[in-house]
Amino acid sequence: MKLTLKVWRQTSPEARGDFVIYTVDGANEEMSFPELLDLLNERLTAESSDPIAFESDCREGICGACGLMINGQAHGPQRGTTTCQLHLRTFNDGDEIVVEPFRSAGFPIVKDLVVDRSPLDRIIQSGGYITAPTGSAPDANLIPVPKDDADRAMDAAACIGCGACIAACPNGAGQLFTAAKLAHLNLLPQGQPERPKRTLAMVETMEAYFGSCTNHGECTAACPKEISLDFIAMLNHDYRRARRSR
């Protein structure tokens, strides 16, 4: 395959960025998108040029580090997949592909396609945990959990924190990420004692970095784990209830 890549290059957060066009020959349809960038970087390194900075880790759709805007879509045109699960068979020989970093005021660019996603970590640090006494772990079935609640908690816990929902949202809102991280704790019996405190802390931290949700629905369309908008409704309900109980 021969592909033309129009890649965003930016040497530092303060520098002016621009698109640079590269032609990549010798790719094959079984390659993942990060492997295509690897192929291009091998050539750039051999030419003593600065390779394109981008993030990836597991390359199995688990960690969420690989997120890119591909032809204007977070993680590319294929639904329910991360960038590292996007294979070149999705494209045609001779295509031009536009590659950008996730675009959001909450995700400042570090270099090229790398953005700072640490605000997501700060949301988790503010309340995304359950306080527990030290000691040995209890048996898994010691606390009964209703099947419906367990299923919904598992659906929410599928969120990998890639930030695609924020990059896709016209408002740059962080509600879907925060809602998923809240729901998988707030639905379980172990999460009830700290539920109001957790909800207030995480939502207010989120609002310090990201925009407001107006239910466009782009977030769930871009989410590689297809997290439901229903969790945003649950977040709003829990937040209103927590505010009243302050």
Mean pLDDT in residue range 25-43:
96
Q: Is the torsion defined by CA of 214, 71, 55, 114 positive or negative? A: negative
Q: Which domains does the chain show, CATH number per domain?
A: 2-111 (3.10.20.30), 117-131+142-244 (1.10.1060.10)
pLDDT digits (tens, 9 = 90+) for 160-209: 999 999 999 999 999 999 999 999 999 999 899 999 999 999 999 999 99
In sequence order, which residues have a C-beta less than 8 Å from that of residue 52 and are 6 or more positions away? 7, 9, 37, 40, 41, 44, 112, 113
pLDDT digits (tens, 9 = 90+) for 5-28: 999 999 999 999 999 999 999 999
Mean pLDDT in residue range 74-101:
97
- Helix H or strand E segment including 148: helix 147-157
pLDDT at 8: 98
pLDDT digits (tens, 9 = 90+) for 177-190: 999 999 999 999 98
pLDDT at 134: 66
Q: Is the pLDDT of residue 147 over 90?
A: yes
73 three-state secondary structure: strand
Instruction: Categorize the per-residue pLDDT at 131 as very low, low, confident or very high, splitting at 50, 70 and 90.
Output: confident
